[in-house]
Amino acid sequence: MHTTRARDSEFTLLFQIIAYAVILVLSIMCLLPFLLILSGSFSSNESIVRDGYHLFPTDFSLEGYQMVFKFPTQVLKAYGVTVFTTVVGTALGLFLITMAGFVLQRKDFKYRNTFSFFIYFTTLFGGGLVPWYIMLANYFNLTDTYTVLIFPGLMTPFLIILMKNFIRSAVPDELVESAKMDGANDFRIYFSIVLKLAMPGIATVGLFLALGYWNDWFTSSLFINNPDMYQLQFYLYNTMNTITFIDQMAIGTGITLSQDVPTESTKMAMAIVVTGPILFLYPFVQRYFVKGLTIGAVKG
């Protein structure tokens, strides 16, 4: 008896050592690239070009940030678009996803299996890029609208499934039943009970949605022709691509481009400016995060 307990604690200790070591290594692996960018943004361009990137700036300089904010209108516009799409998209998406999740987990919804099938089916078989593009551009006529930046990302099957399972485990059927007996209708149940109890799930899904919108560049790339409507990520990505383009494609094409090309440190500074705000969102939702994701694992 005594020995098993000792061995138990030995194993616990061993487990903890391994666990901490693994987490430590993983965290460092995640942090290092970010540190490199951070240090790059504070280095002078010359030192980057000559010696490459360092973990700590060898030649401290703020010229990157100066460049970014020298002509801030474009960056600010792109910021505005991204903030707008993120806020509206997340709010709207949360509303739709919680609604869908709520409806799909209700046992008294007759067609829930049919609807679920339609939703899950799209995760297995997608139409591909071209039909998707044709749908949005030709049928919905969404080119150069803010709608196109929000609409395609509103609902994803994965998040609906997540939300459905969450609501199922957070809101017992008995609760819904008793509320009904007390005279609450479905909307009342949705607003007063489901939304309140599903808070951790909403925070999780909300964060996923917000990250999705914040990091989105592809939709801008395909559907937006008006530079004032570029999302922040695309603005950044496009600036970098123009540089690559000048280098790679301009060979033998003889085309002349009359744009200013930002330097290495400027690009890094831009990356920091772009990622900054979303980093601050993390601590606020983080406490819900663990609970939200693991729900459904324990039946209780």
Partner 1 sequence: MHMRNKIIRHLSQVLALMLFAGVLAACNNGSGRSAQGSEEGASSTDKGEKVTLQFYMLGDAPKDLPVIESEVNKLAEADLNVNVKFNYTSWTDWDQKYKLLLSSGQPMDLIFTADWTFYQSYAKKGAFLPLDELLPKAAPTLQSHVPEDMWNAVKINGKIYTVPSTWIEYVTEGIAYREDLREKYNLPKPESLETLEAYLEGIKANEPSMIPIADSNSNHTHGIRQLTSKLVNTAGQLPYGLDIMYDSPSTITSYWGSSQHLEDLKTYKRWMDKGFFPKNVLNVKDTSNSLLQNGKAAVVLSGENPNKFNADVIKVQSTHPDWKLGYFAYPNAKGFAQPVHPIHNGFAIPRSSKNPEKALAFYEKLVTDKRYNWLTEYGVEGKNFEVQDGYYKMVGDAQTNGFPREGMNGWAWRNPDFMLYDKTFDDVLAMFEELDKIKKPDIFTGFAEDWTPFQAEKAALEQVEKQYLYPLNVGLVADVEAGLNTFMEKAKQAGLEKIQAEYTKQWQEYLKSAGIQ
Is the CB of 30 or the CB of 130 nearer to partner 1? Answer: 130
Is the CB of 57 or the CB of 200 nearer to partner 1? Answer: 57
Interface map 244-273 toward partner 1 (x if CB under 8 A): xxxxxxxxxxxxxxxxxx-xx--x------
Shortest approach of partner 1 to residue 195 CB, angstroms?
Answer: 15
Shortest approach of partner 1 to residue 226 CB, angstroms?
Answer: 8
Residue 107 touching partner 1 (CB under 8 A): no
Backbone angles phi, psi at 263, to 5 degrees: -90, 175
Q: How many CA atoms lie within 13 A of 271 on its CB side?
A: 19
Residue 234 touching partner 1 (CB under 8 A): yes
Residue type, 220: S
Residue 141 touching partner 1 (CB under 8 A): yes
Shortest approach of partner 1 to residue 220 CB, angstroms?
Answer: 9
Residue 184 touching partner 1 (CB under 8 A): no
Residue 197 touching partner 1 (CB under 8 A): no
Give the orientation angle of helix 199-215 with respect to helix 157-170, to 10 degrees: 170
Residue 61 touching partner 1 (CB under 8 A): no
Alpha helices in the chain (DSSP H): 2-41, 45-51, 63-68, 72-105, 112-124, 129-134, 147-150, 157-170, 173-181, 186-188, 195-197, 199-215, 218-223, 232-248, 264-294
Among 71, 117, 118, 121, binds partner 1 (CB under 8 A): 71
Is the CB of 3 or the CB of 253 nearer to partner 1? Answer: 253
Residue 138 touching partner 1 (CB under 8 A): yes
> Phi/psi zone of residue 213: left (φ > 0), alpha (ψ -120 to 50 degrees), beta?
alpha
Is the CB of 215 or the CB of 238 nearer to partner 1? Answer: 238
For partner 1, the binding residues (CB under 8 A) are 46, 49-50, 52, 71, 88, 92, 96, 99, 129-130, 133-134, 137-138, 141-147, 150-151, 185-187, 217, 221-222, 225, 227, 234, 237-238, 240-261, 263-264, 267
